Amino acid sequence: MATATKIAGPSIDVHGVTDPGNPIKENQDTFFTIQFKDHVAMGVFDGHGKACGLLASSTARDFFHAKFSINDTYAELEAHPEQTMRKLFHECHLAIKEALRQRYLAARNNVQDRKGSFLVIKPTLLQKSILVQGGTTASIAIILHGIKLICANVGDSSALLSSATAKLQTSSWKSLQEIDMLRVHNNQGPTFSHPGDLDAEQVKPPLLVILSGDHSPEALVEFHSVAKSRPQTNHPHLPELMFLYDGIIPGSAKKLTLRERHQLLERRPVFQVQNNDIQPVGEGCYFKNVRQEWASLCCTPTKAKYHESLAFTRSLGDFYMHYYGITHEPDVIEVNLDKLNHGNDPPTFNLVLASDGIWDCWKYGEAAAFVLESLTHHDATSTAKLFMKKNKELSRGVFGSQVDNMTAIICSIRYHSEDNQ
Go through the domains of the chain in sequence order and give each one's CATH number: 7-123+133-215+330-420 (3.60.40.10), 217-249+256-311 (no CATH)
Q: Is the pLDDT of residue 1 over 50?
A: no
Could you read off the pLDDT of 145-162 as tens digits, one per residue? 998 999 999 999 999 998
Residue 262 pLDDT grade (very low, low, confident, very high; cuts 50, 70, 90): confident
Q: What is the phi-psi region of residue 88: left when phi exceeds 0, alpha when psi lies from -120 to 50, beta otherwise?
A: alpha
Q: Contact, 137 vs 144, CB < 8 A?
A: no
Determine the pLDDT at residue 289.
95
More confident residue, 7 or 90: 90
pTM comes to: 0.89
Q: Report how far residue 1's alpha carbon sits from residue 49's, in angstroms, rounded to the nearest whole number.
A: 47
pLDDT at 247: 83
Q: Would strands 158-163 and 130-131 be described as parallel, antiparallel, or unpaired?
A: unpaired
Nearest to 44 by CA among 128, 125, 158: 158
Question: pLDDT per residue over 393-404, tens digit each?
Answer: 999 999 998 999
- Each residue's pLDDT tens digit, 78-107: 999 999 999 999 999 999 999 999 999 999
Sequence letter at residue 181: M
**191 pLDDT band (50/70/90 cuts)?**
very low
**Backbone angles phi and psi of 213, in degrees to 5:** -70, 150
Question: Is 368 a residue whose pLDDT tops 50?
Answer: yes
179 falls in which pLDDT band (50, 70, 90)?
very low
For the ranges 144-148, 262-266, 298-302, 391-395, the lowest mean pLDDT is seen at 262-266
Q: What is the mean pLDDT of residues 122-127?
A: 82
Mean pLDDT rounded to a whole number for the chain: 86
DSSP result, 267-335:
TSBSEEEETTEEEE----SSBSSTT-PBPEEEE--TT-SS--EESSSB-EE-HHHHHTT-B-PPEEEEE
Query: What is the arithmetic mean of pLDDT over 23-33?
Result: 96
* Alpha-carbon span 100 to 94, nearest angstrom: 10
Distance between CA atoms of 317 and 78, rounded to whole angstroms? Answer: 27
Close Cβ partners of 163 (under 8 Å, ≥ 6 residues apart): 205, 206, 207, 340, 342, 347, 348, 349, 350
For residue 108, the model assigns a pLDDT of 93
Question: Which whole number is the average pLDDT over 320-345?
Answer: 86
Closest by CA position to 42, among listed 121, 111, 143, 115: 143
Confidence of residue 383 (pLDDT cuts 50, 70, 90): very high
Can you tell me the mean pLDDT for 40-60?
97
Comparing 18-27, 336-345, 379-388, which segment has the lowest mean pLDDT?
A: 336-345
DSSP sequence for 112-166: EEETTTEEEE--STTSPPEE---EE-EEEEEEETTTEEEEEEESS-EEEEEESS-
Gap between the Cα atoms of 332 and 389, Å rounded: 31
CA 172 to chain centre: 25
pLDDT above 70 covers a percentage of the chain that reads 84
Q: What's the pLDDT at 125?
A: 77
Residue 421 has pLDDT above 60, yes or no: no
Q: What 8-state DSSP symbol labels residue 262?
A: H
What is the CA angle 304-309-314, rounded to 5? Answer: 110
Q: Is the pLDDT of residue 2 over 50?
A: no
- Residue 330 CA to residue 225 CA, distance in Å, equals 13
Question: At 205, is the pLDDT very low, low, confident or very high (cuts 50, 70, 90)?
Answer: low
Lowest mean pLDDT among 52-66, 67-81, 101-115, 190-204: 190-204
- Does 201 or 23 have the greater pLDDT score? 23
Segment 293-314 mean pLDDT: 94
Question: What's the average model confidence in pLDDT over 180-198?
Answer: 35
> Residue 67, CB half-sphere, CA atoms under 13 Å: how many?
25
Under a CB-based contact definition with an 8 Å cutoff, are residues 45 and 405 in contact?
A: no
Which of 55-64, 240-249, 294-303 shows the highest mean pLDDT?
Answer: 55-64
For the cut 80, the answer to whether the pLDDT of residue 340 exceeds it is no
User: pLDDT exceeding 90 applies to what percent of the chain?
Assistant: 68
Q: What is the pLDDT of residue 173?
A: 34
Residues 135/315, Cβ–Cβ less than 8 Å: yes
Question: Taking 60 as the threshold, does the pLDDT of residue 199 lie above it?
Answer: no
What pLDDT score does 175 carry?
A: 36
Amino acid (1-letter code) at residue 380: A
In whole angstroms, what is the distance from residue 153 CA to residue 86 CA?
10
Residue 338's Cβ-count burial label (10 Å; 0-12, 13-18, 19+) is middle
pLDDT band per the 50, 70, 90 thresholds, residue 418: low
Whether residue 186 is predicted with pLDDT greater than 60 in this model: the reply is no
Report the Cα–Cα distance between both ends of the chain, in Å, rounded. 22
Q: What's the farthest any 2 CA atoms get from each other in the chain?
A: 77
Rounded CA-CA distance 220/217 in Å is: 8
pLDDT band at 165 (very low <50, low <70, confident <90, very high): confident
